[in-house]
Structure 1
Amino acid sequence: MMAEDDRREELHRKIIEQAKKNKKSPLTIAVIGPPGVGKSSFINTIITCITGEYRQWVKTGLGEGAITLRAIWVLQKRYMEFADENLQQYVFPDILDVVGFEDSDDDVTRKATELLFYVRIPSDILVHEVLKKMRTSGTWPVEKMYPLTAECKKIDRVIFVASAANSNLPLGLCNAVRTVISKKKRVRGSVAQNYLQYSEAEFLKRKV
C-alpha cells in the first residue's frame, strides 16, 4: 500500500504535469454539490496539493450548519503567491466554491445553477436569497436583475462533490447540473457527464 507521503507526492506530480499543458489563461472550475458535503474542505485540499502549504482559502463552517452562503472565488494569482517559485511559471485554475444546493431537479435549481456557471450572481449576494426570490416570483425577475453580459466569466469545468456518509446519491441535483452542462457546451463536468454512461445502480458502485 502506498504511504501517505508517497500518495501526496504522486498527486502533486500529476497536478504539475497537467499545469504544464496549460499555457493560456486559467481554467475556471466550479465545485458544486449538496450543503455540508465538504466542498470547501475539498477546495482547500486541492490548493494545498498545489502549493504544498495548508491555508483556509475558503472557510469551512461559514454560516449556520457549516454551509457556504455565497459563491466564493479562489483565484490562482492569489494562492500561487504562496507556492514555490518554480511553480509560479505554470497556470493553475481559478476555483469557484458554489453554495450548496438541495437535491432537486426543478426549474429554479437549474436556472440558479446556470446563473452561477455564468458567474452572473455577484459574490457579495446571498445565493439562498436569490433562490427564495425565484421560488416566490419566478426566474425572470432574477434574470433581469443579473443579465448575461460580455464581462460575465464562464465556468470551464465542474466538479460535483457528494458525501460518502450518505448512501443516497443526490440524483436530482446531479441531473440539474447535467442539464445545464449539456446546454452550455463549453462547460464540462466530471460527475454529471460520467453519470450519463451508467445506470443508477452502476453509478452508485463507483461512488467513493
Structure 2
Amino acid sequence: MMYNEEEKWTFEKTEEEYEEERQREVRLFQKRVETGGRALNIALIGPSGCGKSSFCNSIMTAFNVEGWREWATTGHYGGLAEQVTHSLLSFPKSDYLGLSALNDYNYPTLVDMNGFNDSSDTMVEELLRIVFFGKLPEEEKLMHAVKLYRSKGIDGLRDHYSKNYEHLKIDRIIFIASATSPLPNRLMEAVRNIARKEDRVIPVFGVLTQKDRINEEDKDYQALEKDFREGLGLPYNRFLLCTTYCDDYDMHHGKSRLDQRHPELDIPILKFMRQVCDPVMKVIKDETEYKMQSPNNTATPNNQVTNEASPNESWATINGRSLPINDAMWIRGLVIAVLINVLLSFMSKSMDISRVCAEQCTGTKCHSGSVQFLCEEQSGFGRIIVTFLSVAVVVGLDIILDKLE
C-alpha cells in the first residue's frame, strides 16, 4: 500500500489536533444545514467495487457523534452487499446522527443507489430519470424495473412509474469511482445526460476513493482524474479524492474503526459535504415533474415516440409501439426456423411413406416385410414424440436465454 507525502506529513499531527480540526469542520458544516426548510436528498451512485457503500458509511461517520457503524452494507462483488444494495436504500438523519440535539439541523438524506452497470443505453438512462425524480419506491429491486422494460418496453416503463408518488426526489448527485480502476465512462455519460439535459437540472459532484493506494504525482493517476472531472463536468470545488473507513486503513494504522474513529478521514469529507449541501446551489426548475416522454426524444409526424437504441439493440414497430429486438430474440427465431424446417422435412417424408403404404398394404398386411416394418414405424406415436421434443427444445431455450439475460 502506498501513501503520499501529504498524508505522511498529516500523520505528524496529534490526535488532539485532529479532533479539534474535526470539531471546527463540524461547526462549519452545521452552519450550512441550519434549521428550517427541508433536508436535501443526495444520491450516491457508482459501479460495483468502487467503494460507494464505504464512502456512504464514511459520510455518516463524519456526521455522527458516536463513530463508525455499518449503516450501508459493504462487501465484495457478488456477495451479500451486491444482493442487498441492488435496490434503493435511503438513510435519513434520524438513522445515523445518534444524538437527538442534532435533529434540528437539516442533515441530508443519503440515497444509496446500486445495481447500475457501466452502461448508457436507453433503459439505464430511463431508470436514472425514474430514480432522480423520486419515482422508484424505496427497497424496490431494480430488476423489477428491468423486467418491466423487457416485457412492456420503454413506454410501459414510463407509464408504470409515472403513477408513483415522488418520495425521494434527488437534489444532489455524487458519482463515486475508484482511483485505482478504469473509469465507468458510459455510466458517467448516462448520469451527466440525465442530470443536465432534463428540464430539471441537478448539481453533480464527484469522488475518487482509495487515495491511500495511489501517488497523486503519478501521470496515470493525473490522467484518470482529468478524465473523471471532464467526464462529469466538475470544477475542483465539486471534486474529492479521499480515503474511506475500510479494513485496509485500519490495518495500516493498527487501530480498528470499531473502537476509535479516524478524524483525519472525517475532515476532508466534512469539507466536501459542506460544498455539496451549500444552499446557495439550486436545482434548476426544481418543481418539474417526471414526464411520460423524455425531453431528449422527438415526436414523429404520426405522434409516435422515437427511441434511441443502444449499439446492440434494434427496434420494430408493432401496432404503433416500438419494441426492442435483442440478441436473444434473434437466437430464438433462428432455432424455431430450424425446427420448422426439420418438421416440414419430416412431414414431407411422412406423406411419401403414407402413399407407399396405401399402395402396398391392404388393411394391416403388406406385400413385403420391409414395407410392413416401415409402415408400422409411420405411426402417430412417432409424430407425437417429434412434436414433444420440438416444444421442449423451444421452452428450454427460452428458459436458458432468460437466465443468461
User: Where on the TM-score scale, by shorter chain, does this alignment land: which range?
Assistant: 0.7 to 0.9
Instruction: Name the counterpart of 1:125.
Output: 140
SS of the residue 2:10 aligns to: coil
**Residue of 98, 106, 118 corresponding to 2:121:** 106
Instruction: Name the counterpart of 1:55.
Output: 69
Asked if 1 retains the 8 angstrom alpha-carbon contact of 2:130 and 2:136, the reply is yes
User: Displacement, 1:100?
Assistant: 3.2
Instruction: Name the counterpart of 1:143.
Output: 158
1:113-157 deviation per Cα after TM superposition (whole angstroms, max 9, x unaligned):
111112211123211331243245422212222115664431000
Larger Rg: 2
Instruction: Name the counterpart of 1:18.
Output: 29
User: Displacement, 1:45?
Assistant: 0.8
Instruction: Name the counterpart of 1:77.
Output: 94
User: Displacement, 1:171?
Assistant: 1.1
Instruction: Name the counterpart of 2:188.
Output: 174
Instruction: Name the counterpart of 1:2.
Output: 10
**Residue of 110, 117, 142 corresponding to 1:95:** 110
Letter in 2 for 1:2: T
Letter in 2 for 1:26: A
The separation in 2 between residues aligned to 1:79 and 1:37, in whole angstroms, is: 22
Structure having greater relative contact order (Cα 8 Å, sep ≥ 6):
1
The separation in 2 between residues aligned to 1:112 and 1:160, in whole angstroms, is: 16
Size of the aligned set, in residue pairs, is 199
Letter in 2 for 1:95: L
The separation in 1 between residues aligned to 2:119 and 2:200, in whole angstroms, is: 22
Asked if 2 retains the 8 angstrom alpha-carbon contact of 1:32 and 1:100, the reply is no
Report the TM-score, using the length of structure 2 for normalisation: 0.44
1:102/1:203 Cα in 2 relative to 1: closer, same or farther (>3 Å)?
same
Asked if 1 retains the 8 angstrom alpha-carbon contact of 2:89 and 2:138, the reply is yes
1:132/1:88 Cα in 2 relative to 1: closer, same or farther (>3 Å)?
same
**Identity across aligned pairs (percent)?**
29
Letter in 2 for 1:94: T
Asked if 2 retains the 8 angstrom alpha-carbon contact of 1:108 and 1:135, the reply is no
1:154 aligns with 2:154: no
User: Displacement, 1:27?
Assistant: 0.8
Asked if 2 retains the 8 angstrom alpha-carbon contact of 1:181 and 1:187, the reply is yes
* Correspondences of 1:176-191 after superposition (within 5 Å): 176-182=190-196, 183-191=198-206
User: Displacement, 1:36?
Assistant: 2.5
SS of the residue 1:146 aligns to: helix
User: Displacement, 1:11?
Assistant: 5.0
SS of the residue 1:29 aligns to: strand
Q: Bigger shift: 169-178 or 12-21?
A: 12-21
The separation in 1 between residues aligned to 2:24 and 2:142, in whole angstroms, is: 36
Note the residue ranges of structure 2 that are not aligned, 5 or more in a row.
1-8, 208-222, 230-238, 242-405
SS of the residue 2:55 aligns to: helix
Letter in 1 for 2:189: N
Letter in 1 for 2:30: A
Asked if 1 retains the 8 angstrom alpha-carbon contact of 2:87 and 2:115, the reply is no
Q: CA RMSD in A?
A: 3.0
Note the residue ranges of structure 1 that are not aligned, 5 or more in a row.
193-198
The separation in 2 between residues aligned to 1:149 and 1:102, in whole angstroms, is: 25
1:34 aligns with 2:47: yes
SS of the residue 2:187 aligns to: helix
Q: Bigger shift: 26-35 or 55-64?
A: 55-64
SS of the residue 2:177 aligns to: coil
